Structure 1
Amino acid sequence: MKYIDRDLSWLSFNGRILQEIASLNVPLMERLKFVAIYSSNLEEFYKVRVASHRFAQKYKGDKRNKYGYRPSYILQQINTIVSEQQTYLGKLFYNEIVPGLADEGILFLCGQINAVDHQLIEKYYDEHFKHEFKLLEVTNETSLDLKNQAIYQLVIDDNRQYLLEMDYTSWGRFITLEENKQYTKIVQVDDIFRYNIHKLLGHGAEAYAFKISRDAELYIDEEQDESIVKKIKKSLKKRDTGLPCRLLFNENIPFKHINALRKKLDLDMSSLIAGGTYHNYYDFFEFPVFEDKPHLYYLTEEQQPCSQLDNSSDWYQTIVDEDVFLSYPYQSFNYVTDFLKFATEDDGVEEISTTLYRVSKTSEIGLALERAAKNGKRVFVFSEVLARFDEESNIYWGERLEQAGAVVKYGIANLKVHAKAFLIKRREKGILKSYAYLGTGNLNEKTARIYADHGILTSDERYTKDLNEVFKFLKDEQYQPHFKHLLVAPFTLRKKVTKAIRRAMEKAVAGEKQVLHVKLNSLEDPEMIDLIREAADVGVQFQMVVRGICCYCPLSKAQKKNVKIVSVIDKYLEHTRIYHLSERETYLASADWMTRNLSGRIEIAFPIWDAEVQNLLLQQVSYQLNDGIKGRIINSEGDNQLVEGNNSLTSQEYMHELVANLQKTKTIRK
């Protein structure tokens, strides 16, 4: 095959998460957090990607996708790989994580329970849960309407079946049974029920956990003459009743019982995924925190200052003097939110335009925009209502901002808006002056603490004029925008990147050494992959960092020699996109090299002209390419071998130093 399938590649990425769970270089509680990340990733994968394959197989026939694979083959491979991964995860969890916690005095009771602990569990049940557990008997006539992702206990007693929904929201999941100076005993609420089931049904009853995952796609009825918001709201209500795509069950359930359940849910055999005693491991995000054991967690690094702004009495003038480069979470995202807050209270500011892709319910950005609108400023917000799993939050802020007086737009036909930017227009001496923010990550304070991203605050007209063109189009998609410096998908981004690579090919053929450095979340677009291969065959070298999906595989010796791809999994989620296409062309971008980003979304790649920042970005990519601690080689085998290197610090630790050093030079020059 010419390409690795995107979903099989993604499973390889989740395999790299498993490597972090296994790594002794990762603090124990952080390994447990990676358990939650692995589980959360897999849950979304089934709800979105597996569901789409099942939908295609059922309604569109078993046709090959753009990578050359049929849904039936992909589903078979997914089941095999996930089964192997989850077996490995179980071994890591029970053989390393749980004993490691016990060594620290954190006794996580799962598995065999001794007599003393059994008494504690029974006592807790009697005091807290005696009347909470209500069983539903399941007969041939019982109709099941099971909630998406909810954990159920299937209780079997003398061939009679009962169901119990585990209400973690009300009960909590992790129960502290006993706590003293020597140890803390923690049990899951599942076991509170399982070890007391005899009080409900007698000693012969057994309980087994299972769950279903449903298709999370929003199938919007385009025929309905309603607003996009109303259509999304209707579709969101159906998400919990979507087509089941997986039945995950305790492998110890007798087959006749799980098969009967499968038939009731109208699932085929390929939907059955055997698992362990417990499910929804992503709940370990909520595992108790032990502040008295800091060695079990990553060290909290002090965020670096932004010397340009910290030493400024007039942020506007500072931004006029020089672009302000910011890097999160090595620096605080507060610089961005504070600048927007200044603008809301500034009488000179007349207009604010912004894109919102993923925004939290408690968003400081949202509050600032609301304040601006209430203060009488013209506020335009493009809220991408189709940002998967953030639809409700985006609608919430869109409607709230509309009530405050902002103009809010929710969608453009056949395009998602994924660009991360805002534009402020301020009247200075009778003339409107523009200030802008352009970034690689969402305008979201919460994710900025754990996603590694970059952004700039600028008043440079080369940015602001083009960004104004973007917003003119967002306000009126009949407008024909023109761009000189920003690369904007779907208008110019693919074309300009392709032109730069072909220019490098010409130079390579002429005997010039050509090395392109690219950092992405995903490399999936067949057209871009073919172009990389074509360039590599004539001697262009690609040094690439690709965190997640990578569909590239070499088809020649030259391609294997000239294309190096590394993935870095570490403390922070690598989210920055960097295109270094020549000595004169370095871009930061919101776009990965996926077909959807290059051809189906509004994306922005913005040039970096500051030589010091260019150098920092190149060093960042270089450190990641040679990270022998957290870097994995991406190849056709998908074996995730560590990069060869003798670095004493991880590339993220080096990045912290790079940002610190940049601030020192900015301070000296100031």
Structure 2
Amino acid sequence: MNYTDRDLNWLSFNERILQEAENEDSPLMERLKFIAIYSSNLEEFYRVRVASHRFAQRYHDDIKNKYGYRPSFLLQQITQVVSSQQERMGKVFYSKILPGLAKEGIHLLTDHFSEEDENQMGTFYDNQLEGNFTIRDITEEVKLQLKNLTVYLYAVTKERQFIIELDYKTFGRFIDVSTSDKEKRVVQLDDIFRSNTSKFLGEKSEIFAVKISRDAELYMDEEQEEDIVVKIEKSIVNRDTGLPSRLLFDENIPFKYIDTLRKKIEVDMSGLIPGGRYHNFYDFFGFPASEKHLLYPEIPKIQCHRLDNSSDWFEEINKEAIFLSFPYQSYDYVTRFLKIASEDKDVEEINITLYRVAKTSAVCQALEAAAKSGKKVFVLDEAQARFDEASNIYWGERLRKAGATVRYGINDLKVHAKICTIKRRESEGIKTYAYMGTGNFNEKTAEIYGDHALLTTQTNYTKDLDEVFAFLKDNSYQPKFETLLVAPFNLRSSIEHLIDNEISLVKKGKKGKLTIKLNSLEDTLMIDKLRHAADEGVEIDLIVRGICCYHPQTKLQEKNIKVVSIIDRFLEHTRIYHFHNDGVSKVYLASADWMTRNLSRRIEVAFPILKESAKALLLAELDAQLHDNKKGRYVACKKENQFIEGDETIGSQEKMFELVSKYNF
């Protein structure tokens, strides 16, 4: 095959997450968080990607995808890989993490409950749980409609079988049954039911956990002439009843019972995924233990002295562009600037794109205040940001009520750019202040996502951003760009031209080199372009956190293309494009990965970094990640997911903290 399938490769990425759970150099609670991340990732994978393959297999005749693979083959391969990974996850959880926590006096009890534990569990059941659950007989006649992502207990007695639905929302997953301050003893809600089955079934029984995952795609009826918000709200409800993508079950359950359940909820055999005694490991994000020595040490936020020492942020930004790096610096600089703009009497207009925002969004609150004060506020609110649809609609409607003009996306194009312009009346006329970033306007995720942003009034940026917003407001407008690379208009062609330039330099006997940092590399045309450049002698370094569909086909590609991935404390989210350009580097920050959807079906913005000190920081960041032998892995080669060799003793994120600390802010 010419390309690695994106979903099989995604499983390789999730294996890197699992490696961090296995990493004994990391604090115990952080390793438990990586278990939760692995589980959460896998859940979304089944709800989105696996569900799409099942849909294609059932309704589209099992035809090959653009990488050359049939859904039936992919589903088979996915089941094999996931089963192996789940076994690894169970091993590290039970044989490493739980014993490690026990040594710290934190006991998550999964068996061997003491008499006191049993008494505590019985008391909890009697006082709180009795009668507060749903139990149904499983008979040939009964129809079962299991809720999406809900853990059920399958109870088997001598004569009957039951499905029990637990109320996790009310009681939580983890129950503290400690009787002294010397140690923490925690049980799971599942086990409280298990230890009290005789009270509600009246006889001896076996209990097994099962869970269904359903298709998360929003299948909206395009023929219905309804408001996009109404369509989405209707479709979100259907996620709870969508096509099953997997049935996860305790591997100890006798097959005849799980086969009965499978048939009742219409899951085919490839959708059966054996697991352990417990499911929904992503609930461990909320495990009740916060001992500091079991977590990453807190790191101080690096100040932006120019803003901190300024009484007039508009004046400071107007003097010279301000470059920011998250999470090493506080996202408060962004939310505070929007708040200042919302309150400033000379600000007349704010334009912004929103893709994913925090639930209690300080960004949206500032926009709301601006609209209420009479300022013109335009919000492109991407209503189809998967799993954030309801939150985005909530904020969109709230901003609309405040007086903002809100548009929920564009037909056939998702808006993924992270841009904002603020129009302010000053002595010389209207001045435009611009924000461009690689991450969402989300102060919560900015605490754990590695991203960069620029605040500027430079007209070469602001003129092009005005063109973007003119198109977002009126899709019949034909935008023109001189500085920014904007998908789907000139981003792909500009990247191709920049790669061609490196090829031409090699042909002239000069050095051709490019370094690209992305979340995902999936677009087949871009992969072919990189292969061609490598065959012509261009040196290519790729830092790809997640999906990478490239694999070498020639000796020159093996020699000239190096791919690494960084998985560490913070999620590497920024996109950086660096072209050597005969020693006069061209460096861009971007919202776009090199996926077909980003380059061809989304509004994305890549912006050049012109300030030499900021450019130097980004180049140092790329170099540190390419040589990170603590958290860096090789990708797309025979050493898949093996750690990078080298003598360096500092990880690239630790190095990044040093770089940002030394940067002249």
If the length of structure 2 is used for normalisation, what is the TM-score?
A: 0.98
The match for 2:326 among 325, 328, 331 is: 328
Rounded Cα–Cα distance in structure 1 between residues aligned with 2:310 and 2:92:
51
> What is residue 100 of structure 1 aligned with on the other side?
100
Matched, 1:585 2:583: no
Matched, 1:530 2:531: no
Contact in 2 for aligned 1:9/1:638 (Cα 8 Å): no
1:581 is displaced (CA, Å) by: 1.5
1:130 is displaced (CA, Å) by: 2.8
For residue 178 of structure 2, give the secondary structure of its aligned residue in structure 1. strand
Contact in 2 for aligned 1:344/1:372 (Cα 8 Å): yes
Aligned positions of 1:80-99 closer than 5 A? 80-99=80-99
Aligned-pair RMSD on alpha carbons? Answer: 1.1
> What is residue 145 of structure 1 aligned with on the other side?
145
Aligned positions of 1:51-90 closer than 5 A? 51-90=51-90
Contact in 2 for aligned 1:422/1:438 (Cα 8 Å): yes
Deviations 1:172-223 (A, max 9, x none): 1100001433211000000000111022224421111001000000011010
> What is residue 274 of structure 2 aligned with on the other side?
274
> What is residue 298 of structure 2 aligned with on the other side?
300
The match for 2:442 among 429, 437, 444 is: 444
The match for 1:397 among 395, 398, 420 is: 395
Aligned positions of 1:217-616 closer than 5 A? 217-290=217-290, 293-429=291-427, 431-582=429-580, 583-616=584-617
1:168 is displaced (CA, Å) by: 0.7
1:147 maps to amino acid:
K
75-84 vs 428-437, which moves further: 428-437
Deviations 1:424-445 (A, max 9, x none): 0001126110001000000000
Rounded Cα–Cα distance in structure 2 between residues aligned with 1:195 and 1:638:
47
Deviations 1:2-26 (A, max 9, x none): 1110001100000001100000111
Contact in 1 for aligned 2:16/2:641 (Cα 8 Å): yes
Contact in 1 for aligned 2:36/2:285 (Cα 8 Å): yes
2:579 maps to amino acid:
L
Rounded Cα–Cα distance in structure 2 between residues aligned with 1:362 and 1:646:
44
Against the structure 1 CA distance between its residues 158 and 184, is the aligned structure 2 distance closer, same or farther, given a 3 Å change threshold?
Answer: same
Deviations 1:462-485 (A, max 9, x none): 110000000000000000000000
Deviations 1:532-562 (A, max 9, x none): 0000011101111100000010001110111
For residue 13 of structure 1, give the secondary structure of its aligned residue in structure 2. helix
For residue 140 of structure 2, give the secondary structure of its aligned residue in structure 1. coil
Number of residue pairs matched by the alignment? 662
Rounded Cα–Cα distance in structure 2 between residues aligned with 1:381 and 1:515:
39
1:648 is displaced (CA, Å) by: 1.7
Contact in 1 for aligned 2:132/2:167 (Cα 8 Å): no
2:67 maps to amino acid:
Y
> What is residue 198 of structure 2 aligned with on the other side?
198
1:584 is displaced (CA, Å) by: 3.3
Contact in 1 for aligned 2:323/2:454 (Cα 8 Å): yes
Structure 1: unaligned runs, 5 residues or longer: none
Rounded Cα–Cα distance in structure 1 between residues aligned with 2:586 and 2:524:
24
Rounded Cα–Cα distance in structure 1 between residues aligned with 2:154 and 2:308:
59
> What is residue 654 of structure 2 aligned with on the other side?
653
Contact in 2 for aligned 1:4/1:636 (Cα 8 Å): no
Rounded Cα–Cα distance in structure 1 between residues aligned with 2:184 and 2:295:
18
Against the structure 1 CA distance between its residues 95 and 372, is the aligned structure 2 distance closer, same or farther, given a 3 Å change threshold?
Answer: same
1:121 is displaced (CA, Å) by: 2.2
Deviations 1:63-83 (A, max 9, x none): 111111111111010000000
Contact in 2 for aligned 1:353/1:380 (Cα 8 Å): yes
1:137 is displaced (CA, Å) by: 1.4
Rounded Cα–Cα distance in structure 1 between residues aligned with 2:637 and 2:461:
39
For residue 177 of structure 2, give the secondary structure of its aligned residue in structure 1. strand
465-474 vs 143-152, which moves further: 143-152
> What is residue 34 of structure 1 aligned with on the other side?
34
> What is residue 13 of structure 2 aligned with on the other side?
13
1:120 is displaced (CA, Å) by: 3.0
Rounded Cα–Cα distance in structure 1 between residues aligned with 2:441 and 2:639:
33
2:210 maps to amino acid:
F
> What is residue 623 of structure 1 aligned with on the other side?
624
Contact in 1 for aligned 2:157/2:203 (Cα 8 Å): no
Contact in 1 for aligned 2:133/2:167 (Cα 8 Å): no
1:55 maps to amino acid:
F
> What is residue 50 of structure 1 aligned with on the other side?
50
2:168 maps to amino acid:
Y
2:528 maps to amino acid:
D
Against the structure 1 CA distance between its residues 134 and 491, is the aligned structure 2 distance closer, same or farther, given a 3 Å change threshold?
Answer: closer
Rounded Cα–Cα distance in structure 2 between residues aligned with 1:202 and 1:447:
48
1:637 is displaced (CA, Å) by: 4.6
Rounded Cα–Cα distance in structure 2 between residues aligned with 1:365 and 1:635:
39
Contact in 2 for aligned 1:587/1:606 (Cα 8 Å): yes
Rounded Cα–Cα distance in structure 1 between residues aligned with 2:246 and 2:625:
36
Against the structure 1 CA distance between its residues 646 and 181, is the aligned structure 2 distance closer, same or farther, given a 3 Å change threshold?
Answer: farther
Rounded Cα–Cα distance in structure 2 between residues aligned with 1:126 and 1:638:
55
577-586 vs 354-363, which moves further: 577-586
1:656 maps to amino acid:
F
